[in-house]
Amino acid sequence: MSDVLLLVQAAADTTRAYGEFPVIGARAAVWIAAEVHLMFAAFVLGVPMFAVVTEAIGIFGGDERYDRLSKEFTRLLLVAYSATAIWGTVLLFFLATLYPRFFAYLFAIFKYSAWVYAGLFFFESFTLYLYYYGWDRWKKGRAKVGHWTLGILLNVWGTIVMFIANSWLTYMMSPPRDIGPTTDPTTIKLWHAIANATWMPINVHRLVANVVFGGAIVGAYASYRFLAARTDEERAHYDWMGYVGNFIAISALIVLPFAGYWLGREIYQYDQSMGITMMGGFMSWLWVIQAFLIAVLFLTGNYYLWIGMGRIPGAERFRPYTKWLLAVLVLGAIVWGTPHTMIADSKELAAMGGSHHPFLGALGVMSAKNTAVNLMILTTFLSFLMYRRGNMRLVVPWARAGTMIQAAMFAIAAGVVLFYGIRGYFVDAIVRIGFSVYQVLAVLACIAGVTVIDILLGRGAQSLGAIQWGKMPPRSQYALFILAVTFTWLMGLMGFARSGVRQYWHVWQVMQDTSKYAATPALGYASKMISLCVLIFLSLVAFVFWLGGLAEKSTFVSAGEGKARHVGH
Amino acid sequence: MSLRLPPALRRYAEHPFWQAVGLLVLAYVVVVFVIPLLPGSAIVPKSVVLQYMATVLVGVLIYVSDNEERWARFKEPLGALATEPRLKLVRGVVLAGVTGLVGLVTYGQVRTTVAAPPNLRSIHPAPPTEITFRGHSVTLTGLDNPLRQHPESAAAHLVVGKRIYYQNCLPCHGDHLDGQGHYASGFNPIPANFQDNGTIAQLTESFVFWRIAKGGPGLPREGTPWNSAMPRWEDFLTEREIWSVILFLYDQTGWTPRTWEKTVSSER
């Protein structure tokens, strides 16, 4: 019956359902507009989170450097907001003219939320102007707290705007089950459409990802300014800024896989065939590329920390351990990137007895991958801990016992991860899926417990010397660039995986894509498109960075103003 | 407990450059020669060798450059090779070697070969929600093997399943259900190995039913290229016979089929 309806739908489409775009085609035009808009949106949502946190540290911690850092980023936001709005408008016009039937359908359901969306954008823009232009006027006392409240408001508006846009795209992916091809869109209740199966998981995933992205972009900006710096003081300031950006990005990255796991699980629960296409079928190759890119993030983030230990007096104590951490990360990356179904020629296939390698195939399943990524997260956390301890001499009487307890927590967490990883090979798939929850809980409990103990251990700790900010080789700054580029690439790649699992549906099993672009693009074509979007976005961001330097002088504080500070923020 | 090396060798073993070279060579030997020698293992496909070596190379570069002292020492031999007059001959050999290697790789990429190129075929494409079997529709989501509802008749069904298997599946999937039947080597892709933990052990019985019923011609778009030689068994076997042979496959291999999550079936 539904096939007949779809045929009728296809026949109706002959009357101006789709428009055409010169040279690159309608789909590519919408793809570029949507992707670059989304990247700028992540920028203007992530960076205010960063700005409001650093402003709070400046207010409540009394360190003015953080306040200036916050202001410097808000200045970049002004231009980035315009870029977001421009690309959003381009997307809107493209959708309305190239996919008019689908556009009409979607906004027959979501028209009220679209109006609220537009209104909120207005509020958001003017809050940003107040926030930036009021910076120097509301600088002290209660006025400063009021100013900080504006920053919080900016984040609240931005988050609601994102939640509204998320409801549109998640409806396309997981419309409520009672909605079918014949349902009149004007009869669908707005909240019913908004609160669909994947809406909240995407909200949480994107919220955390925006923090990661904001930190990474801050890091890239700092590295750009570091490399262009002419004085040691300027270099010291931007070195510190890069460290803060990287710290926030990697800290949030550690929890991001858990949010992603929830989203993946919801997709499976909503429609198993969609889940299989994503994780085990056509789209599964994207996850191998994703594994590569996330391994690059882990390796680069740790690399930056290890180089940074060179500027911390006392951190040389921990140097001998870094090579072992590196070994765990490399082995983890190898396991994580091992495909279950291997690319092999006919001779290799015959030798292996199929596409699954008889020995390495064991590394291609979820048990091995979950184990690898959890151990990589623990290793990265250990790197942070060593970096934080770099120039500390602990003075609390229970310092040795505390450190032993921390070591035991790491050992127990790693033990739990390994136990369930190995056990996963001997149980049914249904039981195995539940094991990843225990692995994640063990890692999170270790991170929380060790952090609390570390803060208590650090009470009254003596400093072995101030961090020599600015004493970083240029290659450390390129590591920050790599982080920002990789994050951007990952966003494009995984965004395609999420959106692509709908295959030839505008709205999954409700509205079919009957245009000539309905076929899911080949991975090679998709990779090129995503790379093009990343290139466009980063070129525009480079322009924004340049404008940021053009508008005002940089905000570094001279050495006399900055106190010798402890590491770890 | 440290290994005592002669001083000349120790000088190399402690130098970051030669450590890097040693690690890369060791990784290559392990991946290409040691892993295939392990019991039950096989050669590692070139694509995976490349992937592993790229990861190890990144790790090695991080190792040699994550502190200034080690990085400076690592660069010493490279700097010397590029500039020192006494190393003129070595420089010439290295340059010729690198050029030759690039040429060799290029030749390997462009030379004509009779082997079919590797492809990114999806082995387990997503199944449809429902299929038609000889004209009537079968909902696959949440579907279990109906023959399991009567455990007392299992032995009889297994006898039927065994007969079906030996009459129809044996030539390709083999006596050991390992995909090594008499005709197996003539196919690309080769027949599925049911003993492998990556095939029926990962799948629900409804997925296996779908694949047997519809075969290669019934593969969805994402299962391209459609060059699987598996016939559409719905043209030759009844629904009950297919479920019987599925029972036989799981019974013989010892695998248990993947089960459905309760929430999924109840939501549907």
Q: Where are the domains of chain B?
A: 7-110, 130-267
**A437 in contact with chain B, both atoms CB, cutoff 8 A:** no
The alpha-carbon gap from B98 to the nearest alpha carbon of chain A, in Å, equals: 26
pTM of the model: 0.83
Residue of A nearest to B130 (CA): A273
Residues of chain A falling short of pLDDT 70? 1-15, 551-569
Element (H, E) at A58: helix A26-61
**A330 in contact with chain B, both atoms CB, cutoff 8 A:** yes
**B120 in contact with chain A, both atoms CB, cutoff 8 A:** yes
Q: Inspect the interface and report whether the beta carbons of A269 and B261 lie closer than 8 Å.
A: yes
Cβ-contact A500, A508 below 8 angstroms = no
Using alpha carbons, select from B209, B211, B195 the residue that is nearest to residue B242. B209
Alpha helical stretches, state H, A196-231? 199-228
Please list every residue in chain A whose beta carbon sits closer than 8 Å to the beta carbon of residue B40: 358-359
Structure-block tokens of residue A530: 């995503």
Q: A290-308 b/e with 16+ CB inside 10 Å = b?
A: bbbbbbbbbbbbbbbbbbb
Fold of B130-267: Cytochrome Bc1 Complex; Chain D, domain 2 (1.10.760)
ipTM for the predicted complex = 0.82
**pLDDT of B144 strictly over 60:** yes
Q: Inspect the interface and report whether the beta carbons of A346 and B62 lie closer than 8 Å.
A: no
**A276 in contact with chain B, both atoms CB, cutoff 8 A:** yes
**A427 in contact with chain B, both atoms CB, cutoff 8 A:** no
The alpha-carbon gap from A37 to the nearest alpha carbon of chain B, in Å, equals: 29
Please list every residue in chain B whose beta carbon sits closer than 8 Å to the beta carbon of residue A284: 122
- Is B230 strand, coil or helix? coil
**A310 in contact with chain B, both atoms CB, cutoff 8 A:** yes
Alpha helical stretches, state H, A280-423? 284-308, 319-337, 346-352, 366-389, 399-423
Residue of B nearest to A295 (CA): B55
Q: Inspect the interface and report whether the beta carbons of B35 and A359 lie closer than 8 Å.
A: yes
Q: In whole angstroms, give the CA distance from residue B184 to residue B187.
A: 6
- Which residues 6+ apart lie within 8 Å of B205 measured at CB? B143, B144, B145, B243, B246, B250, B257
**B42 in contact with chain A, both atoms CB, cutoff 8 A:** yes
Please list every residue in chain A whose beta carbon sits closer than 8 Å to the beta carbon of residue B47: 342-344
- Which residues 6+ apart lie within 8 Å of B168 measured at CB? B233, B236, B237, B245
Element (H, E) at A40: helix A26-61
Element (H, E) at B171: helix B170-173
- How many Å from the N-terminal Cα to the C-terminal Cα in chain B? 64
Report the sign of the C-alpha dihedral through residues A321, A323, A325, A331, in that order: negative
Query: For B138, phi and psi rounded to 5 degrees?
Result: -125, 120
Residue A566 has a pLDDT of 40
DSSP class per residue in A71-111: HHHHHHHHHHHHHHHHHHHHHHHHHHHHSHHHHHHHHHHHH
pLDDT band (50, 70, 90) for residue B117: low
The alpha-carbon gap from B5 to the nearest alpha carbon of chain A, in Å, equals: 21
Using alpha carbons, select from A288, A344, A285, A335 the residue that is nearest to residue B46. A344
Q: Inspect the interface and report whether the beta carbons of A428 and B259 lie closer than 8 Å.
A: yes
**pLDDT of B266 strictly over 50:** no
Residue A561 has a pLDDT of 45
Please list every residue in chain B whose beta carbon sits closer than 8 Å to the beta carbon of residue A341: 121-123, 198
CB atoms within 10 A of CB B69: 10
Q: Inspect the interface and report whether the beta carbons of B67 and A353 lie closer than 8 Å.
A: no
Highest mean pLDDT: which of B123-132, B158-167, B214-223?
B158-167
CA dist A428 → A151, A433, B151, B198, B258 (Å): 49, 9, 20, 13, 7
Note every long-range contact of A252-257, with CB atoms under 8 Å and residues 24 or more positions apart, other chains counting: A252/A208, A252/A209, A252/A211, A252/A212, A252/A215, A253/A212, A253/A297, A253/A301, A254/A377, A254/A380, A254/A381, A254/A447, A255/A208, A255/A444, A256/A205, A256/A208, A256/A209, A256/A212, A257/A373, A257/A377
The alpha-carbon gap from A139 to the nearest alpha carbon of chain B, in Å, equals: 41
**A178 in contact with chain B, both atoms CB, cutoff 8 A:** no
- Which residues 6+ apart lie within 8 Å of A183 measured at CB? A510
Q: In whole angstroms, give the CA distance from residue A47 to residue A54.
A: 10
CA dist A241 → A69, A383, A458, A494 (Å): 7, 19, 23, 28
Q: Inspect the interface and report whether the beta carbons of A350 and B52 lie closer than 8 Å.
A: no
Cross-strand bridge partners of residue A505: A512
- Is B131 strand, coil or helix? strand
**B202 in contact with chain A, both atoms CB, cutoff 8 A:** yes
pLDDT tens string A289-348 = 888 888 999 999 999 999 999 999 999 999 999 999 999 999 999 999 898 888 888 788
**A351 in contact with chain B, both atoms CB, cutoff 8 A:** yes
* Chain A from 472 to 501: CB within 8 A of any B CB: 473, 475
Instruction: Report the alpha-carbon angle B93-B97-B103, nearest 5.
Output: 150
Cβ-contact A261, A439 below 8 angstroms = no
Residue B208 has a pLDDT of 94
Cβ-contact A306, A382 below 8 angstroms = no
- Is A23 strand, coil or helix? coil
How many CB pairs below 8 Å do chains A and B form together?
Answer: 188
- How many Å from the N-terminal Cα to the C-terminal Cα in chain A? 62
pLDDT tens string A143-156 = 888 999 999 999 99
Q: What percent of chain B has pLDDT over 90?
A: 56
CB atoms within 10 A of CB B9: 10
Residue A534 has a pLDDT of 95
Using alpha carbons, select from A431, A501, A518 the residue that is nearest to residue A284. A501
The alpha-carbon gap from B214 to the nearest alpha carbon of chain A, in Å, equals: 17
Using alpha carbons, select from B219, B246, B243 the residue that is nearest to residue B232. B219
Query: For A462, phi and psi rounded to 5 degrees?
Result: -85, 145
**Comparing B87 with A64, which gets the higher pLDDT?**
B87
DSSP designation for B221: G
Report the sign of the C-alpha dihedral through residues B42, B46, B47, B48, in that order: positive
Length of chain A: 569
Q: Inspect the interface and report whether the beta carbons of B55 and A295 lie closer than 8 Å.
A: yes
pLDDT averaged over every residue in chain B: 87
